[in-house]
Amino acid sequence: MNDANDSGTEDSRGYYRRLQSAIEELLILKGVFTGADVEREVKAMDSRNPGRGATMVARAWVDPAFKARALQNGSAAAEELGLAVGPLRLIVLEDTPRLHNVIVCTLCSCYPRMLLGLPPEWYKSRNYRSRVVREPRKVLQEFGTHIPDAVEIRVHDSTADMRYMVLPLRPAGTGHLSEERLAQLVTRDSLIGVTLI
């Protein structure tokens, strides 16, 4: 990429930053919300990270009743743990020895931000969004994830009002680990389904 393109991108980012700042200032002046409201919301957004989804996975691994509830209604299960998902419908997808799930949003980048934080750049890329539905096994291999031919791969396409999160297989030999330690094994990419634990 040449310098001209870099400066053009920076100029447009600067424009949008200034526009955001002006709109925010106007809305505060009009009393739509306060500066404290903005700060509180930014802190809430910053607190969202894959550890929240990992907490759900670890609980499902150690509590079969919670796992059943999560598979039936992911939003309600998240709320049980104090993880607000808002008006979106959260669907938890269980990996099994014969089934591997992976998520995508083919139209844009719908993503369970409330449980995983900001989406990675590759998740939003046209390359990932278009290829994972056509050749999921090959895309997963590019992440270093080799799924045996005997294991079915299902690709789930998020929508504006519905999000998915993968419940990965619990690794063998982890029966002695605490729920907190199990949560530390879970990664963002395993919650999307592009990697295993």
Which residues are the active-site residues? 105, 108-110
Rg (CA), the chain: 19
Q: Say if residues 168 and 95 touch (Cβ distance below 8 Å).
A: yes
Q: Is 101 helix (H, G, I), strand (E, B) or coil?
A: strand
Query: Tokens 């607000």 sit at which residue?
Result: 84
Q: Say if residues 88 and 162 touch (Cβ distance below 8 Å).
A: yes
Q: 35 exposed, middle or buried (CB, 10 Å; 0-12, 13-18, 19+)?
A: exposed
Structure tokens belonging to residue 1: 């990429």
